[in-house]
Amino acid sequence: MMKTRLSAVAASLLFASALAAPASAVTLVQDSGWQYMSFGDVGSQISPSFEFTVVGNATLKITDAFLSGDQFEVFLNGLSKGLTSTPVNDGSSAVDYDIAFSSSSFSHGSYVLTSGNYVLTAAVTLSPYGGGGGGVELISSGAVPEPATWAMMIGGMGVVGGAMRRRRVSTKVSFA
């Protein structure tokens, strides 16, 4: 009887500690599209947090979605990157993350990142409906042109500029 009570208590404690443990981070894969996140009222954290590795250069995008009006403070590796944009709480709704990201009704942020390992977390700073959902996306950024490419572009602009300067339009001035 005593052994049964101890195992029941141990099981209860194990279950309670599992509930109290923070959720593990979800791996965000570069160029794999939007990933869903959820959040509670002001002061809560987005769930899940995201961990990812950037290869080359990438842009991290985060957006509120579904019902407008929520805003976040974004943290990368524990350092604040500031607030996402200030939303216009006009009762808009959007289930498409790209539409929400491009709308001023929804709060969003975009962060250019270089190669490395990152952990994304965010705290909710505005939540007129007491919680909601949004999306996170990691996309590869275009490569930075090499010096030889810059030299060719500048040289080409110089040639075009020189040709335009040499071209003279003749105008006649007449006095009446």
- pLDDT tens for 25-58 read 899 999 999 999 999 999 999 999 999 999 999 9
pLDDT score recorded for residue 141: 87
Q: What is the mean pLDDT of the chain?
A: 81
- pLDDT tens for 135-154 read 999 999 865 555 555 456 66
Strand 58-67 with 108-113, pairing: antiparallel
pLDDT band at 161 (very low <50, low <70, confident <90, very high): low
Could you tell me the domains of the chain? 22-161 (2.60.120.380)
- Decide if pLDDT at 69 tops 50: yes
Q: Which amino acid is at 148?
A: A
As a whole number of angstroms, the distance between CA 44 and CA 130 comes to 10
pLDDT band at 91 (very low <50, low <70, confident <90, very high): confident
pTM: 0.68
Q: Which amino acid is at 176?
A: A
